[in-house]
Amino acid sequence: MTNRLRLLTPLFSFFLLFGCINVPEVVDPPDGGENPAQDFELGVTPLEETVAQGGVKTLQVTVVRKNGFQGSVDVALEKPPAGVSAPSVTIPESGTTATLRVSVAANLPPRRLSLTVRGSSGTIQQDRSVALNVVSQGNLTVSWVSPSESRSAVNGPVSLEVSVEGAQAEQVELMKGATVLHTWTAAPYVYQWSTAEEAEGEFALKARATRGGTTYFSDARTIAVDRSAPQVESRMPTAGATQVSVAAEIRVRFSEAVRGASVTPSNVTLSGSGGSSIPATVEVSSDGRTVTVAPVNRLPTSTTVTVNLGTSTQPVVDLAGNAFAGPREFSFATEGPATDTTPPTILSTTPGNAAIGIARNTLIEIVFSEPMNKASVEGAFVILAPAGLNTGTLRWNTSSTVMTYSFPTELSYGTELRWQISTNARDTEGNALAETAAQTFRTIRQGIATFAFDSETSGSVDSPGFFRQTSFYNVAMVGDSAGNFIDRLFLGFQMSTLPEELTVIRQARLKWWTGRQIGDPFGKLGKLILEPVNIGDVLPIKFDTNPELEKAYYSHPLASGINIPPSSIGRPGITDVTPMVIADWANRASRNKRTQYRLRFEIGTAGDGTLHRLYSDSESDPKLAELEISYEYP
């Protein structure tokens, strides 16, 4: 599969690592070589969205066509979770965009879902993952209108807009990290951020809406403030080079990604002696940093060739719009036909040798110093370990210098993979690879940690007494008592053994053992609600009224609570708390690596002088609660 997007059609940039090639010359592939496989790349915006139960969100889908591909593309959700649906759509032949409407059932439990958007055309398939945060009906849903991308680069003012659905917010704040950037008291929630006073760098933005004492957050958006113009890091051939092959491609490596739409055959050109135009196509690498200019025909022999990188009216710009200032031209001299006796070498590989923490759906990409005899390279390439992975797909770029291997299946967690290319691999002139290449890498690993409840921050607290008899687990309850006291149950966990180097928390499950129900708690007291809280390092032991316990009892939840239905009560009952644990781990320095929860009924007391509660005791259930976290780490 080619790593570059040909700019003979509209260009969109998708960013994957591409090694910069810096060699003096490249030779032609032999006549009669096969054409590169037609293909497309799929893009989805946004990649993270929030929707209320029973709501609908739209995803914008784009297709970048490669190597002459013109077919229609069917777009649909692949095996969506129960309660999530989206009618499939078709991007017609030569079309580029479509809108996918994702609906969420009203009874779908609030949680974070991972959706797969699949584009299909015949045997070609491309997938993209989208995170969908489902929140309860009646909660506010705070979403970004602009920017829609998770990350944007700017060099000046940027328009920021959010929307609030579900009800009228009392206040909406635009947060830059922990700083309030702007406050709205009514829609529209639009703000023009000048960025002029900001230092260059990345800023994380969120919108925070408040209603009825509850706070709701949007997904994060990253704004990169960049006022620095891109620079050229390397050129191939180098400026002033001589004896350059007439089959050479020109590659320019920039210091940062450039905007694909600013690199076109009209402003990035080749010219020969006397200023005569040399027809060429222009491509941008997947990471946006390498521009390749490929002559349509062989370069003229014994000629000074000038490369023009943009013009004053059509400059090459970076993602923030900063123009490349130059020098915009460089030249080199070509040679006449010569016999190639130089052995080819491998310039770079992705993943790199001995790399760790590689994604399980990775590709192997190998960049050669010159065009290769594809059949010989494919015969020399082998996956040494583990077994059973040699049935994948091999693809090449148009110049036969980059080979990409797609595995037949997603690699397992922690796979130690070894591959090799022997010296049977040859270039198009028959020169053997200089030496056998053998490399290894390891995929991301998965860990599962189980944490017992922290007795110092776990237990029942009632009102209006606000006393706590002991920190040892004997009995625990939530509900009301015959004296119409209102019990709330706190469950705390210390996540001290989670590794600092973990890359993502995949799932967190709270298990709570409930021995029995007394009375009719769900019938008399309504919904059982689990809320994330921050009560500090201890619930103090006091036999009389305690202001610290009262503060914990009424502490403001860190996020919207989860309704726990009667069917989820058991020995144990299991509740997904993944978003809450992710948030606490992100703030682990201030939270002392703690995650804490409060269980309460919607109605404090039935007022009928009768017990209505959920009850746990150490005799029936020695374990009150535990937290199970699965995560990935390098």
Residue 466 confidence (pLDDT)? 86
445 in Cβ contact with 452 (< 8 Å): no
Residue 29 confidence (pLDDT)? 40
pLDDT 10s digits, 111-153: 889 999 999 999 999 998 988 888 888 788 999 999 988 889 9
Q: Which amino acid is at 280?
A: A
Residue 543 confidence (pLDDT)? 66
Q: Is the pLDDT of residue 13 over 50?
A: no
Provide mean pLDDT across the span 519-547.
90
Dist CA 411 CA 444 (whole Å): 9
Residue 41 confidence (pLDDT)? 81
Measured in whole angstroms, how far is the alpha carbon of residue 57 from the centre of its chain? 19
pLDDT 10s digits, 173-201: 999 999 999 999 999 999 999 999 999 99
pLDDT 10s digits, 259-307: 989 999 999 999 998 889 999 999 988 889 999 999 999 999 999 999 9
Residue 37 confidence (pLDDT)? 66
- Could you tell me the two tokens for 107? 């009874």
Dist CA 537 CA 556 (whole Å): 16
Percent of all residues in the chain with a pLDDT value above 90, rounded to a whole number: 74
Q: Is the pLDDT of residue 546 over 80?
A: no
Q: Is the pLDDT of residue 36 over 70?
A: no
Q: Is the pLDDT of residue 433 over 90?
A: yes
Say how many CA atoms lie within 13 Å of 537 toward its Cβ: 4
253 — phi, psi (to 5°)?
A: -105, 120
The least confident of 61-65, 430-434, 619-623 is 61-65
Residue 574 confidence (pLDDT)? 97
Dist CA 91 CA 561 (whole Å): 40
> What single DSSP character describes residue 580?
H
Q: Is the pLDDT of residue 502 over 70?
A: yes
pLDDT 10s digits, 319-378: 999 999 889 999 999 987 667 889 999 999 999 999 999 999 999 999 999 999 999 999
Provide mean pLDDT across the span 389-401.
96
Interior CA angle at 478 toward 524 and 462, to 5°?
Answer: 105
Overall pTM > 0.75: no
Residue among 521, 518, 516, 468 nearest 616 (CA): 516
For the beta carbon of residue 79, count every other beta carbon within 10 angstroms. Answer: 8
Residue with tokens 């009646």: 138
- Order of strands across the sheet with 393-396? 346-350, 363-368, 402-406, 393-396
414 in Cβ contact with 446 (< 8 Å): yes
pLDDT 10s digits, 37-63: 678 888 888 888 888 888 888 898 988
pLDDT 10s digits, 207-243: 999 998 899 999 899 999 999 999 999 999 999 999 9
Task: Tell the CATH topology of 47-148+156-225.
Answer: Immunoglobulin-like (2.60.40)
Residue 336 confidence (pLDDT)? 75
pLDDT level of residue 32 (50, 70, 90 thresholds)? very low
Q: Is the pLDDT of residue 565 over 90?
A: yes
Percent of all residues in the chain with a pLDDT value above 70, rounded to a whole number: 93
Residue 470 confidence (pLDDT)? 82
365 in Cβ contact with 3 (< 8 Å): yes
Dist CA 612 CA 520 (whole Å): 5
Residue 407 confidence (pLDDT)? 97
Q: What is the mean pLDDT of the chain?
A: 89
Residue 137 confidence (pLDDT)? 81
Residue 25 confidence (pLDDT)? 38
- Please provide the DSSP assignment of 275-295 as one string: G-EE-EEEEEETTS-EEEEEE
Q: Which amino acid is at 226?
A: D
Taken in order 123, 128, 134, 139, the sign of the CA dihedral is negative
pLDDT level of residue 33 (50, 70, 90 thresholds)? very low
Task: Tell the CATH topology of 346-443.
Answer: Immunoglobulin-like (2.60.40)
pLDDT 10s digits, 97-108: 999 999 999 899
Q: Is the pLDDT of residue 68 over 70?
A: no
Q: Which amino acid is at 204?
A: A
